[in-house]
Amino acid sequence: QIGMYLICLVKISEVARSAVPSPTKLRLMENEENLFDGGLYIGIAGTATALVLQVLGIIDANLLAAYSSNLFGIVCVALVKIRHVRPYKRQLILEIQQAAPAA
Protein backbone atom coordinates (compact mmCIF):
# COMPACT_ATOMS: atom_id res chain seq x y z
CA GLN A 1 0.00 0.00 0.00
CA ILE A 2 2.86 2.35 0.75
CA GLY A 3 4.29 1.65 -2.69
CA MET A 4 0.95 2.41 -4.32
CA TYR A 5 0.67 5.62 -2.31
CA LEU A 6 4.12 6.71 -3.48
CA ILE A 7 3.33 5.82 -7.10
CA CYS A 8 0.22 8.02 -6.92
CA LEU A 9 2.22 10.92 -5.47
CA VAL A 10 4.79 10.57 -8.25
CA LYS A 11 2.03 10.63 -10.88
CA ILE A 12 0.43 13.75 -9.37
CA SER A 13 3.82 15.45 -9.31
CA GLU A 14 4.47 14.37 -12.90
CA VAL A 15 1.21 15.93 -14.07
CA ALA A 16 1.86 19.10 -12.05
CA ARG A 17 5.31 19.54 -13.60
CA SER A 18 4.17 18.89 -17.17
CA ALA A 19 4.37 21.86 -19.52
CA VAL A 20 0.73 21.80 -20.61
CA PRO A 21 -2.17 24.16 -19.84
CA SER A 22 -4.35 23.66 -16.75
CA PRO A 23 -7.32 22.17 -18.68
CA THR A 24 -5.02 19.47 -20.04
CA LYS A 25 -3.60 18.81 -16.58
CA LEU A 26 -7.13 18.40 -15.24
CA ARG A 27 -7.93 15.89 -17.98
CA LEU A 28 -4.68 14.03 -17.27
CA MET A 29 -5.64 13.80 -13.59
CA GLU A 30 -9.07 12.46 -14.52
CA ASN A 31 -7.37 9.93 -16.77
CA GLU A 32 -5.44 8.58 -13.77
CA GLU A 33 -8.50 7.82 -11.60
CA ASN A 34 -7.97 4.06 -11.92
CA LEU A 35 -4.38 4.47 -10.75
CA PHE A 36 -5.55 6.51 -7.76
CA ASP A 37 -7.99 3.66 -6.91
CA GLY A 38 -5.14 1.13 -7.11
CA GLY A 39 -4.90 0.83 -3.32
CA LEU A 40 -8.45 -0.54 -3.24
CA TYR A 41 -7.60 -3.18 -5.83
CA ILE A 42 -4.49 -4.21 -3.90
CA GLY A 43 -6.49 -4.34 -0.67
CA ILE A 44 -9.21 -6.50 -2.19
CA ALA A 45 -6.61 -8.82 -3.70
CA GLY A 46 -4.87 -9.11 -0.32
CA THR A 47 -8.13 -9.91 1.43
CA ALA A 48 -9.10 -12.51 -1.18
CA THR A 49 -5.65 -14.10 -1.02
CA ALA A 50 -5.73 -14.27 2.78
CA LEU A 51 -9.20 -15.83 2.76
CA VAL A 52 -8.19 -18.43 0.16
CA LEU A 53 -5.06 -19.30 2.14
CA GLN A 54 -7.21 -19.70 5.26
CA VAL A 55 -9.68 -21.98 3.48
CA LEU A 56 -6.79 -24.10 2.18
CA GLY A 57 -5.38 -24.34 5.69
CA ILE A 58 -2.07 -22.76 4.70
CA ILE A 59 -2.45 -20.01 7.31
CA ASP A 60 -4.44 -19.88 10.54
CA ALA A 61 -7.97 -18.51 10.32
CA ASN A 62 -7.90 -14.85 11.28
CA LEU A 63 -10.52 -12.61 9.72
CA LEU A 64 -8.91 -9.51 11.18
CA ALA A 65 -5.74 -10.21 9.22
CA ALA A 66 -7.74 -10.94 6.08
CA TYR A 67 -9.81 -7.79 6.22
CA SER A 68 -7.01 -5.50 7.38
CA SER A 69 -5.64 -5.56 3.83
CA ASN A 70 -8.91 -4.13 2.59
CA LEU A 71 -8.90 -1.52 5.34
CA PHE A 72 -5.38 -0.40 4.43
CA GLY A 73 -6.50 -0.12 0.80
CA ILE A 74 -9.39 2.12 1.77
CA VAL A 75 -7.14 4.30 3.93
CA CYS A 76 -4.54 4.55 1.15
CA VAL A 77 -7.08 5.65 -1.45
CA ALA A 78 -8.73 8.07 0.98
CA LEU A 79 -5.37 9.69 1.72
CA VAL A 80 -4.44 9.97 -1.95
CA LYS A 81 -7.78 11.32 -3.11
CA ILE A 82 -8.69 13.58 -0.18
CA ARG A 83 -5.23 14.85 0.73
CA HIS A 84 -3.63 15.11 -2.72
CA VAL A 85 -5.92 14.63 -5.74
CA ARG A 86 -8.85 16.76 -4.58
CA PRO A 87 -6.82 19.87 -3.63
CA TYR A 88 -4.80 19.70 -6.84
CA LYS A 89 -7.91 19.34 -9.01
CA ARG A 90 -9.48 22.26 -7.12
CA GLN A 91 -6.40 24.36 -7.84
CA LEU A 92 -6.59 23.48 -11.53
CA ILE A 93 -10.31 24.29 -11.72
CA LEU A 94 -9.69 27.70 -10.11
CA GLU A 95 -6.83 28.40 -12.54
CA ILE A 96 -9.07 27.50 -15.47
CA GLN A 97 -11.88 29.73 -14.16
CA GLN A 98 -9.53 32.68 -13.64
CA ALA A 99 -8.11 32.31 -17.14
CA ALA A 100 -11.57 32.12 -18.75
CA PRO A 101 -12.84 35.43 -20.16
CA ALA A 102 -15.78 36.92 -18.27
CA ALA A 103 -19.05 36.37 -20.10
Q: What is the pTM of this model?
A: 0.84
Q: SS in 3 state form for 12-67?
A: HHHHHHCCCCHHHHHHHHHHCHHHHCHHHHHHHHHHHHHHHHHHCCCCCCCHHHHH
- Predicted local distance difference test score (pLDDT) of residue 28: 97
pLDDT tens, position by position, 9-48: 999 999 999 999 999 999 999 999 999 999 999 999 999 9
Above 70 in pLDDT, residue 103? no
Q: Where are the domains of the chain?
A: 2-99
- Predicted local distance difference test score (pLDDT) of residue 43: 92
Higher per-residue confidence, 18 vs 99: 18
Which of 96, 94, 84 lies closest to 11 in space, CA to CA? 84
pLDDT tens, position by position, 51-92: 898 889 888 877 787 788 889 999 999 999 999 999 999 999
- Predicted local distance difference test score (pLDDT) of residue 102: 63
Give the DSSP H or E segment for 103.
none
- Predicted local distance difference test score (pLDDT) of residue 13: 98
